[in-house]
Amino acid sequence: MLSHPRFYWGETGNVLTPPLFKLPLPASRALVPTGYGYVLPDQNGWSRYLHFQAAWVVVLTGLLYIISSFFTGHLRKNLLPGKAGLSWRAFSMAIAKHLRFARPSAEEAWSYNLLQRLSYLFVIFVLFPLVIWTGLAMSPAFVSAVPATVTLLGGQQSARTIHFFVSLSLLLFLLVHVVMVCLAGFRSRMRAMITGRAGTHMEGT
Amino acid sequence: MSVLSRRKLIKTGLAAAAGVSGLGVAARIAQKYGLVPPDHGGVYGLGETLTYASQRLLTRHSLAREFSRSQISKPPLANEMPPLSDEFKRLQTGGFSDWRLSITGMAAQPASFSLDQLKSYPSQSQITMLQCEEGWSYIAEWIGVSLSHMLQVVEVHPQARYVVYYSIDPDWWESIDMADALHPQTFLAYGMNGDELPVGNGGPLRLRLPRQLGYKSVKFITHLTVTDSLKGFGKGLGSASPETGYAWYAGI
Protein backbone atom coordinates (compact mmCIF):
# COMPACT_ATOMS: atom_id res chain seq x y z
CA MET A 1 0.00 0.00 0.00
CA LEU A 2 2.78 2.46 0.93
CA SER A 3 4.77 1.61 -2.20
CA HIS A 4 1.82 2.75 -4.32
CA PRO A 5 -0.80 4.66 -2.28
CA ARG A 6 -3.01 5.13 -5.36
CA PHE A 7 -6.08 3.02 -6.07
CA TYR A 8 -7.78 2.30 -9.38
CA TRP A 9 -10.78 0.57 -10.89
CA GLY A 10 -10.62 -1.95 -13.73
CA GLU A 11 -7.75 -4.10 -14.97
CA THR A 12 -4.72 -1.81 -14.90
CA GLY A 13 -3.48 1.27 -13.11
CA ASN A 14 -0.17 3.08 -12.77
CA VAL A 15 1.21 6.60 -12.36
CA LEU A 16 0.26 7.41 -15.96
CA THR A 17 -3.43 6.61 -15.42
CA PRO A 18 -5.89 8.61 -13.30
CA PRO A 19 -6.50 7.05 -9.87
CA LEU A 20 -9.89 6.44 -8.30
CA PHE A 21 -8.44 8.01 -5.15
CA LYS A 22 -5.08 8.59 -3.49
CA LEU A 23 -4.19 8.09 0.15
CA PRO A 24 -2.72 11.22 1.72
CA LEU A 25 0.55 9.46 2.55
CA PRO A 26 4.13 9.62 1.31
CA ALA A 27 5.18 6.57 -0.71
CA SER A 28 8.09 4.18 -0.31
CA ARG A 29 8.90 4.51 -4.03
CA ALA A 30 10.25 7.56 -5.84
CA LEU A 31 8.16 6.67 -8.90
CA VAL A 32 4.94 7.79 -7.23
CA PRO A 33 4.28 11.54 -7.24
CA THR A 34 2.85 12.17 -3.78
CA GLY A 35 3.86 15.81 -3.35
CA TYR A 36 5.53 15.08 0.01
CA GLY A 37 9.06 15.48 -1.30
CA TYR A 38 10.48 12.45 0.45
CA VAL A 39 10.44 8.69 0.03
CA LEU A 40 9.82 6.28 2.90
CA PRO A 41 12.16 3.31 3.40
CA ASP A 42 11.15 0.14 1.55
CA GLN A 43 9.52 -2.44 3.87
CA ASN A 44 7.82 -4.54 1.19
CA GLY A 45 10.03 -7.63 1.28
CA TRP A 46 9.53 -8.91 4.84
CA SER A 47 6.01 -7.50 5.06
CA ARG A 48 4.95 -9.47 1.97
CA TYR A 49 6.48 -12.66 3.42
CA LEU A 50 4.60 -12.01 6.69
CA HIS A 51 1.37 -11.13 4.86
CA PHE A 52 1.25 -14.38 2.88
CA GLN A 53 2.23 -16.54 5.85
CA ALA A 54 -0.52 -14.83 7.90
CA ALA A 55 -2.93 -15.46 5.01
CA TRP A 56 -2.31 -19.20 5.37
CA VAL A 57 -3.00 -18.99 9.11
CA VAL A 58 -6.27 -17.13 8.44
CA VAL A 59 -7.39 -19.58 5.74
CA LEU A 60 -6.54 -22.74 7.69
CA THR A 61 -7.84 -21.69 11.11
CA GLY A 62 -10.85 -20.02 9.45
CA LEU A 63 -11.78 -23.25 7.66
CA LEU A 64 -11.39 -25.21 10.88
CA TYR A 65 -13.58 -22.68 12.73
CA ILE A 66 -16.34 -22.64 10.10
CA ILE A 67 -16.47 -26.42 9.75
CA SER A 68 -16.47 -26.98 13.51
CA SER A 69 -19.11 -24.29 14.07
CA PHE A 70 -21.44 -26.26 11.81
CA PHE A 71 -20.88 -29.53 13.64
CA THR A 72 -20.78 -28.33 17.23
CA GLY A 73 -23.93 -26.24 16.84
CA HIS A 74 -22.00 -23.03 17.62
CA LEU A 75 -23.38 -21.48 14.43
CA ARG A 76 -26.99 -22.41 15.15
CA LYS A 77 -26.96 -21.76 18.91
CA ASN A 78 -24.76 -18.70 19.21
CA LEU A 79 -24.59 -16.98 15.85
CA LEU A 80 -27.79 -17.37 13.84
CA PRO A 81 -30.51 -15.09 15.24
CA GLY A 82 -33.54 -16.95 16.65
CA LYS A 83 -36.96 -16.64 15.01
CA ALA A 84 -37.93 -13.86 17.40
CA GLY A 85 -34.87 -11.85 16.47
CA LEU A 86 -35.64 -11.76 12.76
CA SER A 87 -38.41 -9.14 12.85
CA TRP A 88 -37.89 -5.44 12.10
CA ARG A 89 -39.31 -4.72 15.54
CA ALA A 90 -36.67 -6.80 17.28
CA PHE A 91 -34.01 -5.27 15.06
CA SER A 92 -35.05 -1.66 15.75
CA MET A 93 -35.37 -2.39 19.46
CA ALA A 94 -31.87 -3.84 19.52
CA ILE A 95 -30.50 -0.79 17.74
CA ALA A 96 -32.33 1.62 20.05
CA LYS A 97 -31.04 -0.24 23.08
CA HIS A 98 -27.53 -0.20 21.69
CA LEU A 99 -27.66 3.53 20.98
CA ARG A 100 -28.84 4.24 24.52
CA PHE A 101 -25.87 2.22 25.81
CA ALA A 102 -28.36 0.22 27.89
CA ARG A 103 -26.68 -2.46 29.96
CA PRO A 104 -27.72 -5.98 28.99
CA SER A 105 -30.18 -7.71 31.27
CA ALA A 106 -28.90 -10.68 33.29
CA GLU A 107 -30.02 -13.40 30.87
CA GLU A 108 -28.88 -11.43 27.80
CA ALA A 109 -25.34 -11.19 29.14
CA TRP A 110 -24.91 -14.94 28.64
CA SER A 111 -25.44 -14.93 24.89
CA TYR A 112 -24.83 -12.66 21.93
CA ASN A 113 -27.52 -10.10 21.21
CA LEU A 114 -29.02 -9.58 17.76
CA LEU A 115 -26.55 -6.91 16.68
CA GLN A 116 -23.60 -8.97 17.82
CA ARG A 117 -24.92 -12.01 15.97
CA LEU A 118 -25.44 -10.06 12.75
CA SER A 119 -22.03 -8.42 12.88
CA TYR A 120 -20.26 -11.71 13.59
CA LEU A 121 -22.11 -13.40 10.72
CA PHE A 122 -21.13 -10.51 8.44
CA VAL A 123 -17.48 -10.72 9.44
CA ILE A 124 -17.33 -14.53 9.18
CA PHE A 125 -19.34 -15.07 6.03
CA VAL A 126 -18.86 -11.82 4.09
CA LEU A 127 -15.69 -9.94 5.06
CA PHE A 128 -13.30 -12.87 5.51
CA PRO A 129 -14.37 -14.72 2.34
CA LEU A 130 -14.20 -11.43 0.43
CA VAL A 131 -10.72 -10.55 1.68
CA ILE A 132 -9.48 -14.01 0.65
CA TRP A 133 -11.24 -13.86 -2.72
CA THR A 134 -9.92 -10.39 -3.60
CA GLY A 135 -6.46 -11.46 -2.42
CA LEU A 136 -6.46 -14.48 -4.71
CA ALA A 137 -7.75 -12.27 -7.54
CA MET A 138 -4.47 -10.34 -7.38
CA SER A 139 -2.34 -13.47 -7.80
CA PRO A 140 -1.22 -13.75 -11.43
CA ALA A 141 -0.63 -17.50 -11.03
CA PHE A 142 -3.93 -18.27 -9.27
CA VAL A 143 -6.03 -16.34 -11.80
CA SER A 144 -4.30 -18.18 -14.64
CA ALA A 145 -5.96 -21.33 -13.27
CA VAL A 146 -9.25 -19.70 -12.20
CA PRO A 147 -9.72 -16.51 -14.29
CA ALA A 148 -13.27 -15.89 -13.00
CA THR A 149 -11.73 -14.99 -9.62
CA VAL A 150 -10.66 -11.66 -11.08
CA THR A 151 -13.02 -11.11 -14.03
CA LEU A 152 -16.08 -11.28 -11.75
CA LEU A 153 -14.63 -8.39 -9.75
CA GLY A 154 -14.05 -6.25 -12.82
CA GLY A 155 -10.26 -6.52 -12.99
CA GLN A 156 -7.08 -6.86 -11.00
CA GLN A 157 -6.98 -3.22 -9.84
CA SER A 158 -10.65 -3.40 -8.76
CA ALA A 159 -9.70 -6.46 -6.69
CA ARG A 160 -6.90 -4.47 -5.07
CA THR A 161 -9.25 -1.59 -4.25
CA ILE A 162 -11.89 -3.90 -2.74
CA HIS A 163 -9.17 -5.78 -0.85
CA PHE A 164 -8.06 -2.47 0.67
CA PHE A 165 -11.56 -1.53 1.90
CA VAL A 166 -12.37 -5.00 3.22
CA SER A 167 -9.10 -5.21 5.15
CA LEU A 168 -9.79 -1.73 6.51
CA SER A 169 -13.22 -2.97 7.71
CA LEU A 170 -11.61 -5.99 9.37
CA LEU A 171 -9.10 -3.73 11.08
CA LEU A 172 -11.93 -1.50 12.29
CA PHE A 173 -13.81 -4.55 13.59
CA LEU A 174 -10.71 -5.66 15.49
CA LEU A 175 -10.12 -2.22 17.01
CA VAL A 176 -13.75 -1.74 18.07
CA HIS A 177 -13.65 -5.22 19.56
CA VAL A 178 -10.56 -4.49 21.62
CA VAL A 179 -12.10 -1.23 22.82
CA MET A 180 -15.31 -3.04 23.83
CA VAL A 181 -13.35 -5.74 25.64
CA CYS A 182 -11.58 -3.03 27.61
CA LEU A 183 -14.87 -1.27 28.42
CA ALA A 184 -16.55 -4.50 29.48
CA GLY A 185 -13.72 -5.39 31.86
CA PHE A 186 -10.45 -6.48 30.31
CA ARG A 187 -9.49 -9.22 32.81
CA SER A 188 -12.84 -10.97 33.03
CA ARG A 189 -13.46 -10.82 29.25
CA MET A 190 -9.98 -12.14 28.40
CA ARG A 191 -10.41 -14.93 30.96
CA ALA A 192 -13.79 -15.82 29.44
CA MET A 193 -12.34 -15.87 25.92
CA ILE A 194 -9.39 -18.05 26.81
CA THR A 195 -11.16 -20.54 29.05
CA GLY A 196 -14.56 -20.45 27.33
CA ARG A 197 -16.25 -19.86 30.70
CA ALA A 198 -17.86 -16.63 31.79
CA GLY A 199 -16.86 -14.79 34.97
CA THR A 200 -19.22 -15.86 37.75
CA HIS A 201 -19.12 -19.52 36.73
CA MET A 202 -15.39 -19.82 37.06
CA GLU A 203 -14.26 -23.20 38.26
CA GLY A 204 -11.23 -23.86 40.37
CA THR A 205 -9.96 -20.30 40.63
CA MET B 1 0.90 -37.13 38.86
CA SER B 2 -2.29 -39.14 38.48
CA VAL B 3 -2.60 -42.15 36.14
CA LEU B 4 -4.98 -40.30 33.93
CA SER B 5 -2.74 -37.33 33.33
CA ARG B 6 0.25 -39.61 32.70
CA ARG B 7 -1.77 -41.52 30.11
CA LYS B 8 -2.76 -38.20 28.59
CA LEU B 9 0.87 -37.11 28.55
CA ILE B 10 1.98 -40.28 26.76
CA LYS B 11 -0.84 -39.94 24.25
CA THR B 12 0.00 -36.30 23.58
CA GLY B 13 3.67 -37.17 23.25
CA LEU B 14 2.94 -39.95 20.75
CA ALA B 15 0.61 -37.70 18.78
CA ALA B 16 3.26 -34.97 18.68
CA ALA B 17 5.93 -37.46 17.56
CA ALA B 18 3.62 -38.82 14.86
CA GLY B 19 2.84 -35.26 13.77
CA VAL B 20 6.50 -34.30 13.53
CA SER B 21 7.48 -37.45 11.63
CA GLY B 22 4.43 -36.99 9.39
CA LEU B 23 5.66 -33.49 8.62
CA GLY B 24 9.12 -34.95 7.94
CA VAL B 25 7.68 -37.43 5.43
CA ALA B 26 5.56 -34.70 3.83
CA ALA B 27 8.66 -32.50 3.51
CA ARG B 28 10.61 -35.32 1.84
CA ILE B 29 7.80 -36.03 -0.65
CA ALA B 30 7.43 -32.31 -1.38
CA GLN B 31 11.18 -32.03 -2.01
CA LYS B 32 11.08 -35.01 -4.37
CA TYR B 33 8.28 -33.52 -6.48
CA GLY B 34 9.84 -30.05 -6.60
CA LEU B 35 7.34 -28.39 -4.30
CA VAL B 36 9.83 -26.69 -1.98
CA PRO B 37 11.12 -23.23 -2.94
CA PRO B 38 14.83 -22.44 -2.46
CA ASP B 39 13.98 -19.75 0.14
CA HIS B 40 12.13 -22.24 2.37
CA GLY B 41 14.35 -21.57 5.40
CA GLY B 42 13.66 -18.96 8.07
CA VAL B 43 10.49 -17.84 9.80
CA TYR B 44 8.45 -17.31 6.64
CA GLY B 45 9.55 -20.56 4.98
CA LEU B 46 6.39 -22.47 5.83
CA GLY B 47 4.07 -19.91 4.23
CA GLU B 48 6.27 -19.69 1.13
CA THR B 49 6.38 -23.48 0.81
CA LEU B 50 2.59 -23.79 1.16
CA THR B 51 2.06 -21.11 -1.50
CA TYR B 52 4.59 -22.52 -3.95
CA ALA B 53 3.53 -26.15 -3.46
CA SER B 54 -0.20 -25.48 -3.78
CA GLN B 55 0.30 -23.31 -6.86
CA ARG B 56 2.55 -25.86 -8.50
CA LEU B 57 -0.18 -28.47 -7.99
CA LEU B 58 -2.92 -26.12 -9.20
CA THR B 59 -1.30 -23.99 -11.90
CA ARG B 60 1.46 -26.04 -13.52
CA HIS B 61 -0.04 -25.80 -17.03
CA SER B 62 -2.56 -22.97 -16.72
CA LEU B 63 -2.20 -19.99 -19.04
CA ALA B 64 -1.94 -16.38 -17.89
CA ARG B 65 -4.88 -14.22 -18.95
CA GLU B 66 -4.50 -12.62 -22.36
CA PHE B 67 -6.21 -9.36 -23.24
CA SER B 68 -7.62 -7.72 -26.32
CA ARG B 69 -5.67 -5.17 -28.34
CA SER B 70 -7.99 -2.40 -27.10
CA GLN B 71 -6.92 -3.11 -23.50
CA ILE B 72 -3.25 -2.31 -24.15
CA SER B 73 -2.13 0.52 -21.83
CA LYS B 74 -1.22 3.69 -23.70
CA PRO B 75 1.44 4.74 -23.11
CA PRO B 76 3.13 1.71 -21.52
CA LEU B 77 4.74 2.64 -18.23
CA ALA B 78 8.52 2.57 -18.04
CA ASN B 79 9.24 2.42 -14.33
CA GLU B 80 12.27 3.74 -12.51
CA MET B 81 15.51 1.79 -12.79
CA PRO B 82 19.10 2.05 -11.66
CA PRO B 83 21.42 4.12 -13.91
CA LEU B 84 22.62 2.18 -16.92
CA SER B 85 26.23 1.05 -16.97
CA ASP B 86 28.88 2.28 -19.43
CA GLU B 87 28.87 -1.20 -20.95
CA PHE B 88 25.13 -0.90 -21.61
CA LYS B 89 25.56 2.58 -23.11
CA ARG B 90 28.32 1.29 -25.43
CA LEU B 91 26.03 -1.50 -26.68
CA GLN B 92 23.15 0.97 -27.04
CA THR B 93 25.28 3.30 -29.19
CA GLY B 94 25.95 0.37 -31.51
CA GLY B 95 22.21 -0.26 -31.89
CA PHE B 96 22.58 -3.40 -29.73
CA SER B 97 24.14 -5.22 -32.69
CA ASP B 98 26.77 -6.63 -30.28
CA TRP B 99 24.20 -7.69 -27.65
CA ARG B 100 24.61 -11.39 -26.89
CA LEU B 101 22.55 -13.88 -24.98
CA SER B 102 24.55 -16.90 -23.86
CA ILE B 103 22.89 -20.11 -22.75
CA THR B 104 25.12 -22.40 -20.70
CA GLY B 105 24.92 -25.15 -18.09
CA MET B 106 23.19 -28.50 -18.49
CA ALA B 107 22.80 -28.41 -22.27
CA ALA B 108 24.34 -30.50 -25.04
CA GLN B 109 24.85 -27.47 -27.33
CA PRO B 110 25.52 -24.40 -25.16
CA ALA B 111 25.57 -21.33 -27.38
CA SER B 112 25.52 -17.57 -27.60
CA PHE B 113 23.00 -15.67 -29.74
CA SER B 114 22.79 -12.20 -31.20
CA LEU B 115 19.43 -10.39 -31.27
CA ASP B 116 19.15 -11.02 -35.02
CA GLN B 117 19.71 -14.73 -34.43
CA LEU B 118 17.01 -14.76 -31.74
CA LYS B 119 14.65 -12.99 -34.14
CA SER B 120 15.27 -15.67 -36.78
CA TYR B 121 13.55 -18.26 -34.57
CA PRO B 122 9.74 -18.49 -34.74
CA SER B 123 8.38 -15.36 -33.07
CA GLN B 124 5.31 -15.30 -30.87
CA SER B 125 3.29 -12.55 -29.30
CA GLN B 126 1.03 -12.25 -26.29
CA ILE B 127 -1.00 -9.43 -24.78
CA THR B 128 -0.49 -9.88 -21.07
CA MET B 129 -0.36 -7.83 -17.91
CA LEU B 130 2.80 -6.82 -16.15
CA GLN B 131 1.98 -6.57 -12.48
CA CYS B 132 4.44 -5.03 -10.04
CA GLU B 133 4.65 -6.10 -6.40
CA GLU B 134 4.28 -2.38 -5.56
CA GLY B 135 0.68 -2.39 -6.78
CA TRP B 136 0.70 -0.85 -10.28
CA SER B 137 0.21 -2.69 -13.54
CA TYR B 138 0.01 -2.28 -17.30
CA ILE B 139 -0.97 -4.37 -20.31
CA ALA B 140 1.24 -4.63 -23.38
CA GLU B 141 1.79 -6.81 -26.38
CA TRP B 142 5.05 -8.68 -25.94
CA ILE B 143 6.88 -10.13 -28.94
CA GLY B 144 9.66 -12.66 -28.66
CA VAL B 145 10.76 -16.25 -28.87
CA SER B 146 9.53 -18.71 -26.28
CA LEU B 147 12.16 -19.74 -23.76
CA SER B 148 11.21 -23.40 -24.24
CA HIS B 149 12.12 -23.10 -27.94
CA MET B 150 15.59 -21.77 -27.12
CA LEU B 151 16.05 -24.50 -24.50
CA GLN B 152 15.30 -27.03 -27.24
CA VAL B 153 17.84 -25.35 -29.55
CA VAL B 154 20.63 -25.79 -26.97
CA GLU B 155 19.36 -29.32 -26.17
CA VAL B 156 18.80 -29.06 -22.45
CA HIS B 157 19.44 -32.23 -20.43
CA PRO B 158 16.34 -33.91 -18.99
CA GLN B 159 17.81 -33.63 -15.45
CA ALA B 160 17.56 -29.83 -15.62
CA ARG B 161 15.42 -28.38 -12.82
CA TYR B 162 15.97 -24.63 -12.91
CA VAL B 163 16.92 -21.86 -15.31
CA VAL B 164 18.97 -19.04 -13.78
CA TYR B 165 18.99 -15.79 -15.75
CA TYR B 166 21.07 -12.65 -15.47
CA SER B 167 20.62 -9.01 -16.33
CA ILE B 168 23.53 -6.89 -17.55
CA ASP B 169 22.98 -5.15 -14.19
CA PRO B 170 25.04 -7.49 -11.96
CA ASP B 171 22.68 -7.08 -8.99
CA TRP B 172 19.65 -8.44 -10.86
CA TRP B 173 19.46 -12.16 -11.42
CA GLU B 174 16.59 -14.59 -10.98
CA SER B 175 15.71 -18.22 -11.46
CA ILE B 176 12.61 -20.24 -12.31
CA ASP B 177 11.73 -23.91 -12.17
CA MET B 178 11.21 -25.97 -15.34
CA ALA B 179 7.40 -25.67 -15.05
CA ASP B 180 7.80 -21.94 -15.68
CA ALA B 181 10.81 -22.25 -18.02
CA LEU B 182 8.94 -24.61 -20.38
CA HIS B 183 5.62 -22.77 -20.04
CA PRO B 184 4.38 -21.57 -23.46
CA GLN B 185 4.01 -17.94 -22.30
CA THR B 186 7.55 -17.61 -20.93
CA PHE B 187 9.26 -15.43 -23.52
CA LEU B 188 12.57 -13.89 -24.32
CA ALA B 189 10.88 -10.66 -25.39
CA TYR B 190 12.58 -8.30 -27.88
CA GLY B 191 9.50 -6.43 -29.08
CA MET B 192 6.57 -4.54 -27.62
CA ASN B 193 3.35 -3.22 -29.16
CA GLY B 194 4.56 -3.93 -32.70
CA ASP B 195 7.94 -2.25 -32.22
CA GLU B 196 11.36 -2.86 -30.68
CA LEU B 197 11.28 -3.32 -26.90
CA PRO B 198 12.13 0.15 -25.46
CA VAL B 199 15.06 0.39 -23.03
CA GLY B 200 12.69 1.71 -20.35
CA ASN B 201 10.70 -1.51 -20.55
CA GLY B 202 13.74 -3.77 -20.53
CA GLY B 203 15.00 -3.58 -24.10
CA PRO B 204 16.74 -4.89 -26.03
CA LEU B 205 15.92 -8.23 -24.35
CA ARG B 206 13.77 -9.08 -21.37
CA LEU B 207 12.43 -12.28 -19.91
CA ARG B 208 8.64 -12.24 -19.72
CA LEU B 209 6.93 -14.43 -17.17
CA PRO B 210 3.29 -13.30 -17.01
CA ARG B 211 2.30 -15.71 -14.24
CA GLN B 212 4.64 -14.05 -11.76
CA LEU B 213 5.14 -10.49 -10.52
CA GLY B 214 7.21 -8.03 -12.55
CA TYR B 215 10.47 -8.41 -10.66
CA LYS B 216 10.84 -11.94 -12.05
CA SER B 217 10.65 -10.50 -15.60
CA VAL B 218 14.30 -9.44 -15.54
CA LYS B 219 15.30 -6.61 -17.88
CA PHE B 220 18.41 -6.53 -20.14
CA ILE B 221 19.02 -10.29 -20.19
CA THR B 222 22.52 -11.36 -21.24
CA HIS B 223 22.95 -14.83 -19.81
CA LEU B 224 20.95 -17.94 -18.96
CA THR B 225 22.24 -21.05 -17.30
CA VAL B 226 20.47 -24.35 -16.81
CA THR B 227 21.05 -26.30 -13.61
CA ASP B 228 19.72 -29.10 -11.42
CA SER B 229 20.46 -27.26 -8.16
CA LEU B 230 20.39 -23.65 -7.01
CA LYS B 231 22.87 -24.24 -4.17
CA GLY B 232 25.89 -22.82 -5.99
CA PHE B 233 24.20 -19.58 -7.05
CA GLY B 234 24.66 -16.57 -4.79
CA LYS B 235 23.65 -17.46 -1.25
CA GLY B 236 21.73 -20.50 -2.50
CA LEU B 237 18.33 -18.87 -2.00
CA GLY B 238 17.45 -19.09 -5.69
CA SER B 239 17.93 -15.51 -6.81
CA ALA B 240 18.90 -11.98 -5.82
CA SER B 241 15.36 -11.28 -4.54
CA PRO B 242 15.44 -13.42 -1.37
CA GLU B 243 18.89 -11.98 -0.62
CA THR B 244 17.27 -8.54 -0.42
CA GLY B 245 14.21 -9.84 1.43
CA TYR B 246 11.79 -10.59 -1.41
CA ALA B 247 10.19 -13.98 -2.14
CA TRP B 248 11.77 -16.22 -4.79
CA TYR B 249 8.39 -17.44 -6.01
CA ALA B 250 6.31 -14.45 -7.08
CA GLY B 251 3.18 -16.10 -8.46
CA ILE B 252 1.64 -15.22 -5.05
Q: What is the ipTM of this complex?
A: 0.88
Domain of residue A111: give its range.
88-205
Buried b (16+ CB within 10 A) or exposed e, A41-72: eeebbeebbeebbebbeeeeeeeeeeeebeee
In tens, the pLDDT along A49-97 reads 999 999 999 999 999 999 999 999 888 888 888 777 777 888 788 888 8
Answer whether residue A187 is part of any domain.
yes
Where residue A104 falls among pLDDT bands split at 50, 70, 90?
A: low
For helices A88-99 and A114-122, give the axis angle rounded to 10 degrees. Answer: 100
**How many Å from the N-terminal Cα to the C-terminal Cα in chain B?**
49
Question: Beta strands B221-227 and B100-105: pairing type?
Answer: parallel
Neighbours of A179 (CB within 10 A): 10
Rounded Cα distance between B40 and B45, Å, is 4
Q: What band does A109 get if pLDDT is binned at 50, 70 and 90?
A: low
Residue A158 located in a structural domain: yes
User: Mean per-residue pLDDT for A156-162?
Assistant: 97
Find the chain B residues whose C-beta atoms sit closer than 8 A to any C-beta of A.
Answer: 43-44, 46-48, 50-51, 55, 58-59, 62-65, 67, 71, 73, 75, 77, 79-80, 129, 131-139, 210-213, 244-247, 251-252
- Encode pLDDT of A170-197 as tens digits: 999 999 988 988 888 888 888 877 887 7
Number of domains composing chain A: 1
Domain boundaries, chain B: 64-243
For the residues A130-145, what does the mean pLDDT come to? 97
Residue A93, in any domain of the structure:
yes
What is the percent of chain A with per-residue pLDDT over 90, rounded to a whole number? 56
Residues of A in contact with B136 (CB under 8 A): 4, 6, 13-15
With beta carbons under 8 A apart, name residues in chain B contacting A13.
Answer: 136-137
> Do B136 and A52 lie within an 8 Å CB cutoff?
no
All residue ranges of chain B with pLDDT < 70 are 1-4
The residue ranking higher by pLDDT, B16 or A155, is A155
For the domain B64-243, what is the CATH code?
3.90.420.10
Tell me, what's the pLDDT at A162?
98
Is it true that the peptide bond before B110 is cis, omega within 30 degrees of 0?
A: no
